């Protein structure tokens, strides 16, 4: 059973609402969005919850790569759904996946 399936609907909906609000506000950076989610919901919104959420929405992992640049470790995620794609890149999986979820929200919101 996925982490998402274990969550109550209220918790899941609250997390999605929180993410949508912060990811659409232009005055917040992705790092601030991630920090807000972590502060409000704890470890639950880590990497696995976000991947489960993205997959539940019909998106598939096309590429996931970890790499080093200028001595720093980075991670890259690319998801696809039909002819659309959503990319996230950052110092951690969590930051990259929050970026991906923000892109997906923007693509799917009318």
Q: Which residue has the higher pLDDT, 47 or 62?
A: 62
For 1-47, write each residue's pLDDT tens digit. Answer: 344 444 445 566 666 666 666 666 656 665 666 666 666 666 556 66
pLDDT classification of 79: cutoffs 50, 70, 90: very high
Over residues 96-100, the mean pLDDT reads 88
pTM value? 0.63
Q: What average pLDDT does the chain have?
A: 77
Concatenating the DSSP letter of every residue in the chain gives: --HHHHS-HHHHHHHHHHHHHHHH-TTS-HHHHHHHHHHHHGGGGSHHHHHHHHHHTT-EEEEEEEEEETTEEEEEEEEEETTEEEEEEESSHHHHHHHHHHHHHHHH--
């Amino acid at each position: 059973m996925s982490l998402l399936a274990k969550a109550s609907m209220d918790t899941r909906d609250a997390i999605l609402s929180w993410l949508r609000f912060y990811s659409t506000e232009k005055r917040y950076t992705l790092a601030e969005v991630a920090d807000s989610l972590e502060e409000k919901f704890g470890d639950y919104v880590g990497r696995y919850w976000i991947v489960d959420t993205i997959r539940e929405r019909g998106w598939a992992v096309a590429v996931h790569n970890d790499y080093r640049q200028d001595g720093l470790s980075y991670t890259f995620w690319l998801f696809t759904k039909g002819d659309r794609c959503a990319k996230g890149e950052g110092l951690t999986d969590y930051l990259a996946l929050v970026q991906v979820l923000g892109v997906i929200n923007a693509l799917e919101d009318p």
